[in-house]
Amino acid sequence: MVTGTSFGTPHAQAVAVYFGERVKVLGLRVPYVGRHVSEDVGLPLGQANMRYESKSCNTNLIGHVIGKAFMSTVSDPASFFDEPSGASRALISCLQPKALEQIKKLNNEHEDAMQCIKKDMNRGVVVSGQGWLYMCATDTLLDHKFDVRDIKKNKTNIPVIVWYAEDDEDCPPSHGVWLVEEFGGKSRLFSGLGHVGAAFVDHVKFLDEVRMAA
């Protein structure tokens, strides 16, 4: 069973392509398919073209420091997922105008999920900023040199579960639509919760659905 979320989904797809029949099911939340497939089938690249390579994460000290400082400011759970204020609020409003409304809705309607999100972001993003930079580098996220369609070319009948958001401003919803159509998998469409909500809400149900498909 292989799962991936957001910009981690290309890595999950790569595992499914590489290991073939050893993978019994592929679960993707707010998925992204990368440059090769996107350009081939006419999907938008979205906001993912960060224009730096993974080697910069390991060798460029300045890039690492700036990246970690940015993530520590913008993705600090206390300021980002509660009530962002000051510079954080202005930056969020500029980059994703709908995000503040979505965060408010998530806090009101999915309090338990939001608590998990805050803990996960604090552990996985702020603490390991270098890992986040590596995951989103151009050569690992966009130009990763594999094609998820090779799962079918390799004659491996892997069930694919796709949960995505129609109002996702990070991973274009068309990527989710394309994956569902390409693999005929089960899907769930979120509305009004944005990228974050579709990535985290009802995660236990998501994992149960993935297990049942294995």
3-state helix, strand, coil in the chain (%, to 5): 60, 10, 30
Phi-psi region of 192 (alpha: psi -120 to 50; beta: other; left: phi over 0): left
Task: List, for residues 84-131, the tens digit of each pLDDT value.
Answer: 666 666 766 766 777 778 888 888 888 888 887 777 776 665 555 556
* 160 — pLDDT class (breaks 50, 70, 90): very high
* pLDDT score recorded for residue 172: 93
Instruction: Determine contact, residues 157/206, Cβ cutoff 8 Å.
Output: no
In whole numbers, what is the pLDDT of the chain averaged over residues? 81
pTM, full prediction: 0.80
For residue 50, pLDDT over 90 is answered with: no
Structure tokens at 214: 């294995």
